[in-house]
Structure 1
Amino acid sequence: MENFVHENGILCFAAESNTIDRFAENMIKYNKMQCIAPFTYDSDKGTIYYDVKGLAVLENILKISRKAGEIVGIIDGICSAMKEARAYMLNDSHIIFDERFIFVNPENNHIVMLYAPLINSGDGDAAGLMKRIISYAQQDTEILQPVSVALDTEPLSLKLVESVISEMEGRDKIELHNDEPGIDELPASEPSNGTAYIIRKSTGEKIEITGTNFIVGKSPEYAKYVIRNNRAISRVHATFIIRNGTYYIADNDSKNGTFVNGQKIDFENMAELCDGDIIQLANEKFRFAVNK
C-alpha cells in the first residue's frame, strides 16, 4: 500500500496498462456501487485514481473509543462490500483490506472500499482485517466473541458471519464527528427526467429501465433483463446507466459488441442515449424511448 499517493481527496496508484483487468475496470466504471469506490485509469500516466473526496478514513474512526455494537456495524459493512463485488462478478479478494484505505460515507454510514482491478492480484485477508477491527472495541467486548469465532472458519464464510451478526443485539451506526478528517458534504444526485424503456424489435416487448444501473445479458444471476436462447449475447452484455437525469449505455466487453444508431460503442466508453435511438446488442435490436 506504500504505492498510494493522496492528493486532494484522490488516491493515486501506479499500475501498468498490461496489468489492468479491463472487465473489472469497466464493471466499476459504469456501475454506481454503494460500497466500492469509483476510480478512473489513465493509461498514458499508468495511474489509477480513486475518488474518495468527502469520505472519512476508517482508521481514524477506529482510533476513537468504539462500542462493540459500532464495531459489528463496521464488520457488517465490510461483508456488504464483499457481497456487492461478487454481485458484479468481481473477485472480492482484490478488495484492499487495509483500514488505512477503507472509508465511511458520512451521508449514509456505508463502508466504502477500494478494489484493485489488477490481473494476478488478490491476496487480501478479509478475516485478518475484521479481527483487527474487533481489537479496537473498548466497551461490551464480550458480545463480539461469536463474530470472532465465525471469523476463524476456513475458508471465510460471509454467510456465517452475517448470520451471527443478524442474531446480535446492540449493533449501532458509526458515529462521525465534524472534527474527524476527510468529511465533506457530498453532492446529491439529480432525479431522472422521465421513465425510460427499450422496445425489443424481435418480440415487441417493452422493458422499463429501472434503477441507476440496468444490466442486459443472458445471465439470470446478474442481468435485470435476460435475453435467452441467443448465443450471440454475452452474460452481462451491456449496462444502461442514469447520471444526473441523462441515460447512457456501456458495453461490458461483450463478444459481439454494442451499437447505437449503427455506431459501435468503444469498450472503455459509454454512449449518451436520446429518445428514438436504435440500440443493437449483437444481433438483437431495441428502440430507446423516454416518457417525459
Structure 2
Amino acid sequence: MNTLVEKQYVKELVCGSNFSYILAEGGLFSATEYKVLQSQASGCFVQCMKMLYNGNIQIYYLANQLKPFANLIPSLDPERFMAVVINLLGNILKVRNNGFLSCQKIDVSFEHIYVNPITLNVGLVYLPVNHTIYPDQSSFENEIRTGLIKLISGVSNLQSPATMQLSMDLSNGTLSIEDLYRRYKGGEDFLQEKDKLQGKSKHTVSLCLTAMHAPTRVEIRITKDRFVLGKKAGAVDGVISFNDKISRIHCRIDRKGERYTITDLQSANGTYVNGKRLQANQPYRIGNGDIIRMANSDFQVSTR
C-alpha cells in the first residue's frame, strides 16, 4: 500500500480508467516538482493535472490509454514481460538522474505502474508532494526487486530461462538498477562482445528506413527488437512528424535474429509493403529494397 495513503496524507480516488490523489492539506503540494512533471509529460510519467476537489488540491492522472501492469501480466509472454521490465528500469534511471525529482515519490505498486499495451512503454506515477512514499532509495529499489522476483516465481506464463536469470540478478545485491538495465537493455551487444572475446564472429543485419519524398531528410534506424513508428512523441520509438495522415501509433517493426517483420497497428490510413495494404495486427516480412508506405508517405528499406 502507498504509505502516503496509509498515513492519510493523500486519499486515492478512482475515476474510471483514470485516478487521482486528494491532498489532505495544501502545504503537501510541491509546485517545483509539479512543474518538472509538466515539462516532461510526454516522457516516462503518466500525465497529471492539478485540480481542486471540494477545496483540496487534487492530482489527477490521465491513464485512459494505458493499462496497469497488474492487469496486463496475464496476457504477457516472457519476451514482452522482459521488455516492460527494461523500460521500467530505464525510466527509473531517468528519474534518478533528474536533479529535481526523487525516486522515493514514485508509486511502484503494480497497480500504479502503467504500460502502453502496444508499445510496452512504461508510465510512472509520481506524487509531487513534500513527503516520500519510501524512506530511502534502498527501500524503493527493494520494493521493485522483490515485487518482480515474486511475479516471476509465481506467474507461470512469465517463466523462461531469461526471466529466471533476471530473477537471480534481481536477488544479487551487488548489481545496481543501472547494472541490471545495462545488462538487459544491451543484451545483444553483450553477447556479441562475448563472441568476439571467444574468437567468434557474428554478423547482425541492421535495418534502416529512409523517407523518399519528405520535406527534409528523414532516416530511421531500427535499434530495438520491437520498434514502434508513428507521429506521437513519447508513445513511439521512431517519431514521424512531417505527415499528419500518419497515425499517432501507426505500425511496428519486429526483429528476430536477422529477420524483420512489419505489423500495422490499426492505423487510420494503412500500412503498405510494395503496394500491398497490410491486414491490421498481421506481421509481414520485409527486407532490403522493399518500399513501405505509411498513409501516403513512402520509405525505402535498406539493410547493413
| TM-score bin (small chain) | 0.5 to 0.7
- Percent identity between the two aligned chains: 13
SS of aligned partner of 1:99: coil
Between Structure 1 and Structure 2, the one with more helix by share is 2
Aligned to 1:72: 82
Q: Which amino acid aligns with 1:31?
A: Q
User: Could you tell me how far apart the structure 2 residues matched to 1:155 and 1:121 are?
Assistant: 25
Matched, 1:30 2:39: yes
Aligned to 1:18: 27
Q: Closer, same or farther in 2 for the Cα pair 1:112/1:47, shift >3 Å?
A: same
Native 8 Å contact 1:94 1:122 kept in 2? yes
Q: Give the SS at the match of 1:14.
A: strand
Q: Which residue of 1 is the match for residue 149 of structure 2?
A: 131
Q: Which residue of 1 is the match for residue 50 of structure 2?
A: 41
Q: 1:116 to 1:167 in 2, by over 3 A?
A: same
Q: 2:70 aligns with which of 55, 59, 73?
A: 59
2:109 is aligned with 1:98: yes
Offset from partner CA, 1:188-230 (integer Å, 9 cap, x none): x9969xxxxxxxxxxxxxxxxxxxxxxxxxxxxxxxxxxxxxx
Given the alignment, which residue of 128, 152, 155 partners 1:117? 128
- State the secondary structure of the residue aligned to 1:53: coil
- CA deviation after TM superposition for structure 1 residue 7, in Å: 1.0
Distance of 1:54 and 1:73 partners within structure 2: 19
User: Alignment length, in residue pairs?
Assistant: 179
Which of 161, 167, 176 is equivalent to 1:142?
161
Superposed counterparts of 1:275-290, under 5 Å: none
Cα distance between partner residues in 1 of 2:66 and 2:81: 18
Change (3 A) 1:190 1:143: closer
Higher RCO structure (Cα 8 Å, ≥6 apart): 1
Per the alignment, do residues 51 and 156 of structure 1 end up closer, same or farther by CA in structure 2, a change over 3 Å counting? farther
Distance 1:85 1:40 in 2: 19
Structure 1 segments, 4+ long, off by >4 Å, are 171-174, 189-192
Deviations 1:151-202 (A, max 9, x none): 2244861221113313546x9759xxxxxxxxxx99xx9969xxxxxxxxxx
Deviation at 1:92, TM superposition (A): 1.4
The equivalent residue for 1:84 is 94
Secondary structure, counterpart of 2:91 in structure 1: helix
Letter in 1 for 2:37: I
Answer whether contact 1:68 1:137 (CA < 8 A) is retained: no
| Alpha-carbon distance between aligned partners in 2 of 1:111 and 1:5, rounded to the nearest angstrom | 22
- The alignment yields a C-alpha RMSD, in angstroms, of 3.4
Q: Report if the CA contact (8 A) 1:69-1:172 is conserved.
A: no
Structure 2 counterpart of 1:7, one-letter code: C
CA gap of 1:145–1:8, structure 2 versus 1, over 3 A, is closer
Change (3 A) 1:157 1:99: same
CA drift at 1:111: 1.0
C-alpha distance in 1, partners of 2:33/2:187?
Answer: 34
CA–CA distance in structure 1, aligned partners of residues 105 and 113 of structure 2 = 13
Change over 3 Å in CA distance of 1:190–1:152 after alignment to 2? closer
Q: 1:155 to 1:112 in 2, by over 3 A?
A: farther
Separation in 2, partners of 1:163, 1:55: 26
Deviation of 1:34 (Å): 2.3
Alignment of 1:157-236 (within 5 A): 157-166=176-185, 168=187
Secondary structure of 2:19's aligned partner: strand
Matched position secondary structure for 1:63: helix
CA contact (8 A) 1:79 1:162 kept: yes
Separation (CA, whole Å) in 1 of partners of 2:13 and 2:116: 21
Structure 2: how far apart are the matches of 1:80 and 1:130?
A: 15
Give the letter aligned to residue 167 of structure 2: S
* CA distance in 2: counterparts of 1:18 and 1:148, whole angstroms: 41
Q: Take 2:71 and 2:105, find their aligned partners in 1: how far apart are those partners? A: 23
Q: Give unpaired runs (5+ residues) of structure 1.
A: 175-184, 193-292
Is the CA contact 2:93–2:178 (under 8 Å) kept in the aligned structure 1?
Answer: no
- Alpha-carbon distance in structure 2 between the residues aligned to 1:190 and 1:143: 33
Q: Under a length normalisation based on structure 1, what TM-score does the superposition of the two structures give?
A: 0.52
